[in-house]
Chains A and B, each alone.
Chain A
Amino acid sequence: MIKAGMIEITDLPLEPEKITAQVCKDTNGAVVTFLGTTRLYSEGKKVVRLEYEAYESMACKKLAEICQEIKAEFGVEDIAIAHRTGVVDIGQISLVVAVASPHRKEAFLACHEIVNRLKETVPIWKKEFFEDGSRWVACDDHQFNPQGHKH
């Protein structure tokens, strides 16, 4: 587990209320919290559970970079991100992104874009377990080019 400011990677259950509370302040009129939850079906196959693995020090650094970019681009000041590692059962929360801003539009847009960028460059991996096997999501089926994602 690693925690730096409002960024956290942990193998403990995520607590959205606590994470959201970090971005709330009197000058903000909007708070958007995104919860990524583990889904029962993956491409029609029933998932039994998921497992996440992270290169924690780099993941934390990359998340901090995304926060800096997003703050500059969207003019938001307050962002908190938490990602789960280890075994995550179906229906549980694997990701929390909380963004607060004076007005709602920036918070919605910024939150959406944080999740997009996280999925492109942050070294975290998801493994799906089925009743008859398992697979790492993404893997060889696409060309991974994290340096090509310049925003």
Chain B
Amino acid sequence: MLRYCSVVYNNPMQLNVRFFALYRERAGRSTDTVQLPEEATVADLVREVRRRFPRLAPPGVNIVVAVNTEYASSDKKLRPGDEICLIPPVSGG
């Protein structure tokens, strides 16, 4: 049997991700769980989420991520238990 498996992680992290507004609707759900290796960054997370939800945002659009209620740069390292939210362009007021 041919098994497709790109990477095997020894100690994967399970991270919960919340989607809001446009992203919630495009993902068809408000939360998801992704597995990433230890030391994974926000950029790794975005790549994985895009893989799981290809229609979330067009390729040229930057997906903004908040970690523990703060906007996070793409090189920020994630830790188990982090509160991770994908933030579409805001339009309050």
Return the CB mask of B29-47 against A: 1 if under 8 Å, else 0.
0000000000000000000
| A53: B residues at CB distance < 8 A | 20-21
Verify if A109 is at the interface (C-beta below 8 Å from B): no
Asked if B90 and A124 make an inter-chain contact with CB atoms under 8 angstroms apart, the answer reads yes
- Complex CA gap A144/B62 in Å reads 7
Verify if B5 is at the interface (C-beta below 8 Å from A): no
* Chain B residues with a Cβ closer than 8 Å to the other chain, count: 23
Asked if B92 and A124 make an inter-chain contact with CB atoms under 8 angstroms apart, the answer reads yes
Asked if B93 and A115 make an inter-chain contact with CB atoms under 8 angstroms apart, the answer reads yes
Asked if B69 and A58 make an inter-chain contact with CB atoms under 8 angstroms apart, the answer reads yes
Verify if B61 is at the interface (C-beta below 8 Å from A): yes
**A57-B69, A95-B93, A147-B73 known; A123 vs B22 contact (CB < 8 Å):** no
| A94: B residues at CB distance < 8 A | 93
Contacts from B to A (Cβ < 8 Å): 18, 20-22, 25, 57-58, 61-62, 64, 66, 69-71, 73, 85, 87-93
Asked if A125 and B62 make an inter-chain contact with CB atoms under 8 angstroms apart, the answer reads no
**A143-B62, A146-B64 known; A125 vs B93 contact (CB < 8 Å):** no
CB distance from B83 to the nearest CB of A (A): 8
**A143-B62, A146-B71 known; A58 vs B85 contact (CB < 8 Å):** yes
The chain A residue with its CB closest to the CB of B24 is A53
| A143: B residues at CB distance < 8 A | 61-62
Asked if B58 and A140 make an inter-chain contact with CB atoms under 8 angstroms apart, the answer reads yes
**A143-B61, A147-B71 known; A124 vs B87 contact (CB < 8 Å):** no
The chain A residue with its CB closest to the CB of B73 is A147
- Complex CA gap A61/B68 in Å reads 11
| A122 CB contact (under 8 Å) in B57, B70, B90 | B90
Return the CB mask of A129-151 against B: 1 if under 8 Å, else 0.
00000001111101111110000
CB distance from A40 to the nearest CB of B (A): 16
